[in-house]
Amino acid sequence: MENNKSATVGEKLQAAAFSFTQKGIESARLEAELLLADLLKTNRTGLLARLRDPFPEEKEQAWQDYIQKRQAGWPLQYITGKQEFCDHTFQVTPAVLIPRPETEELVQIVLKYLQKSQKNFKVIDVGTGSGAIIVSIALAMKKSVKEKERARESQNESQNESQSQSHSAYHAIDISPEALAVAQENAKNLGLQDTIEFTQGDLLEPFLAKKSLNHKFNVIVSNPPYIESEIIGTLQKEVAHHEPHRALDGGIDGLDLYRRLIPQGAQLLHPEGLMALEIGYNQGQAIKKLLQQSGFTNIQIHQDYQNHDRIVTALQPQNC
């Protein structure tokens, strides 16, 4: 039996990694390191420097809780309560989908579009979940404006640029109040509590009801549920048993939300406005057809690093 009082940090790490391997957890050593680093409030480098230190006795119960949850299939991110995305740390809970690395490309596509625009803009993230997409976009655009200000040769030009940014607007909507609470906390943690407007509602319906030019957007971005209903049960248990099904389930063919969102977006985008959607690996052509049916042009299917369809972008016609 392990002597908790005499165990070192390294011994605790080794034991956890072994138990994860026995449970078939991929990257068992890495996950053990990340969990233990979180418990000890350090990073992996700091953890490795402490391997010979005595393990803090007062942390034993919390450490056992971490291990038991991970062995039971809890995603690491729900145990630590955080996930890295676009170089920022976001709070995550079982109320929200864990942000994936491939979604960072969706953010980059939107940023390229916005940075080419010299006018004020309005962006909305539909089904915002943790808020990772809209928060990352807002942070990057604010940074871009500051860099332009520093490059200005005259004070008047700098003020004009700053005023231009101040009239840009960021919106986020989600049907889940629990998800919105997480998104709002992330915005607050990253200094954007007064920058992003949060709305509870089903897709874009609250904005359709307003029927006002003031509620049209330059960009609609979304990573909606797109997994076929019958497939969800076959996913990794970390996903199937722990992530919110509402954020995963796209109906029989995975396209239910797109069939509603795309026509709504066509009514709420300004001319030449951008719709940017994350999609399933085999849905590119089907989404393209839905966009064409709603009158969108310049439709492009973007592939991920595995050469799978991952993002579709389209523009609202000029004469709309």
Beta 196-200 vs 269-278: how paired, if at all? unpaired
Confidence of residue 31 (pLDDT cuts 50, 70, 90): very high
Q: Pick out the residues of the known binding site for substrate.
A: 223-226
Task: For domain 92-315, say whether CATH 3.40.50.150 is its number.
Answer: yes
Distance CA 192, CA 186 (A): 8
**Bridge partners of residue 171, in order along the sequence:** 124, 197
Q: Tell me: pLDDT of 155 over 60.
A: no
Token representation of residue 85: 């995305």
The pLDDT, as a whole number, for residue 120 is 85
The pLDDT, as a whole number, for residue 156 is 60
pLDDT of 39-87, one tens digit each?
999 999 999 999 999 999 999 999 999 999 999 999 999 999 999 999 9
What average pLDDT does the segment 281-305 reach? Answer: 96
State the greatest distance between any 2 C-alpha atoms of the chain, in Å, as a whole number.
Answer: 75
Q: Pick out the residues of the known binding site for S-adenosyl-L-methionine.
A: 127-131, 174, 223
Q: What are the sequence ranges of the domains in the chain?
A: 9-72, 92-315
How far from each other are the two terminal CA atoms of the chain, in whole angstroms? 73
The pLDDT, as a whole number, for residue 5 is 55
Single pTM value for the model? 0.90
Q: Pick out the residues of the known binding site.
A: 127-131, 174, 223-226
Sign of the CA dihedral with 44 first, then 47, 51, and 52 last: positive
Confidence of residue 251 (pLDDT cuts 50, 70, 90): very high
Confidence of residue 212 (pLDDT cuts 50, 70, 90): low
Confidence of residue 213 (pLDDT cuts 50, 70, 90): low
Contacts of 95 (CB under 8 A, 6+ apart): 176, 178, 179, 181, 182, 244
Q: Name which of 138-147, 170-179, 251-260 the model is least confident about.
A: 138-147
